[in-house]
Amino acid sequence: MTIHIGAKPGQIAETVLMPGDPYRAKWAAETFLDDAELVNETRGMLGFTGSWKGNRVTIQGSGMGMPSLSIYANELIRDYGAKTLIRVGSAGAMQEHIKVRDVVLAMTSSTIATPSTGFFRELNYAPVADYGLLAAAHDAARAKGVPTHVGGIYSSDVFYAERPDLDEQMIRHGVLAVEMEAAELYILAARHGVRALAVLTISDHLITHESLPSDQREQSFGDMIDIALHAAFT
């Protein structure tokens, strides 16, 4: 076990889905995995391991923001041997043609800073998804008939941002959506030579100010989890 993950050796699968909310991890494990077993509850950040169509999968909460995700992703990769990490979470749309409940596959993620910024000093490193995962997720989404968008997103290090000027420029330059974790996940995956992807459900819209009602979230998030699982094992 590590400082933040209480799983024993062998209890974490090589494929890990990472929702931010630990209770979303619990819901996803109970809904999609066979024989799901609680393998981590340290600090209330729940993790479960089970199987999906005969493939071993762990669903581990990552918390909110890049510093929190960085802790869990580092330990999953370095100490437990995770090889494929897929962020599954919500995002806010930044383009008018994207609708609430649509899925966004993050090809790349812009950011102001991540916990890894110090590694690069003056270099503006461009974090990108694993292309094999990205292509497989896109195929899975099309097969399900889920409206899906592929492109660049923005990983913010703050939730309550007050930069309308920055939002305006991102919208102008075609950034699809904003969330809080993907950029650091992609950087860590590149550093350690593993695969990573962010599959995101649009839960609210920065332009239209629409939001996904709570009673419709599970069904929409279910599409996202299903797409991520198909991508991981295609």
pLDDT in tens, 23-46: 999 999 999 999 999 999 999 999
- Whether 7 maps to a domain, the answer reads no
Contact (CB, 8 A) for 212 and 101: yes
The answer to whether 24 is annotated as binding is yes
The answer to whether 66 is annotated as binding is no
CATH code for the domain in which residue 152 is found: 3.40.50.1580
The confidence band for 229, taking pLDDT boundaries of 50, 70 and 90, is: very high
**Backbone φ/ψ region at 94: left (φ over 0), alpha (ψ -120 to 50), beta:** alpha
Q: Which residues are catalytic?
A: 204
What was the pLDDT predicted at 161?
82
The answer to whether 179 is annotated as binding is yes
- Whether 134 maps to a domain, the answer reads yes
- Whether 70 maps to a domain, the answer reads yes
- Whether 4 maps to a domain, the answer reads no
pLDDT in tens, 104-153: 999 999 999 999 999 998 999 999 999 999 999 999 999 999 999 999 99
Beta bridge partners of 103: 148, 201
Sign of CA dihedral 90, 95, 98, 99: positive
- Whether 1 maps to a domain, the answer reads no
- Whether 3 maps to a domain, the answer reads no
Number of domains comprising the chain? 1
The answer to whether 128 is annotated as binding is no
Q: Which residue has the tokens 């839960």?
A: 203
- Whether 8 maps to a domain, the answer reads no
The answer to whether 41 is annotated as binding is no
The confidence band for 48, taking pLDDT boundaries of 50, 70 and 90, is: very high
Beta bridge partners of 198: 87
pLDDT in tens, 187-216: 999 999 999 999 999 999 999 999 988 777
Q: Which residue has the tokens 């923005």?
A: 154
- Whether 40 maps to a domain, the answer reads yes
The answer to whether 121 is annotated as binding is no
The answer to whether 204 is annotated as binding is yes
> Six-digit token pair at 39?
């393998």
The confidence band for 217, taking pLDDT boundaries of 50, 70 and 90, is: confident
Q: What residue numbers bound the domain in which 213 lies? A: 15-232
